[in-house]
Amino acid sequence: MTAMPAHRALTATPRATGTFVRPQRFTACFSVHAAADPSVMPRILQVFAKRGLLPSQCHGTVCGPREEELQVDLQLKDTDRDTAWRLAVDLRALIAVECVLTSEKL
């Protein structure tokens, strides 16, 4: 018996009438928390660029008591859950990234 994956991709599924239901599109929001290092911002943007995606919004802030943290908030319009999940997985794998929070806006 195999374990069910933690993430289930949404794909087009047939209705009883024979027509297909498209996966819901939304704006994916990412909040990336990392060490304040000059190489982090381009690495974050590379995750989107290697898929030919351009975030609709991107804002970075150096924060923390000694300005040792970087918080980058990004939004990607008109995406699906599978793409958002894959982006979050890749962002979490980056060196110096401590946490990636995700949410959706319809």
Which H/E stretch holds residue 72? strand 69-79
The pLDDT tens digits along the chain (106 residues) read 444 344 444 445 555 566 666 668 999 999 999 999 999 999 999 999 999 999 999 999 999 999 999 999 999 999 999 999 999 999 999 999 999 999 999 8
Amino acid at 105: K
Residue 25 DSSP class: P
Token pair for residue 43?
């690495």
Quote the pLDDT of residue 11.
Answer: 47
Quote the pLDDT of residue 18.
Answer: 60
Q: Within 10 Å of residue 32's Cβ, how many Cβ atoms?
A: 26
Quote the pLDDT of residue 1.
Answer: 41
Q: How far apart are CA 97 and CA 106, in angstroms?
A: 27
**Any idea where the domains of the chain sit in the sequence?**
26-105
* Domain 26-105, CATH class in plain words: alpha beta
Q: pTM of the prediction? A: 0.78
Quote the pLDDT of residue 24.
Answer: 87
Specify the 3-state DSSP secondary structure of 88: helix
Quote the pLDDT of residue 106.
Answer: 86
Q: How far apart are CA 44 and CA 32, in angstroms?
A: 8
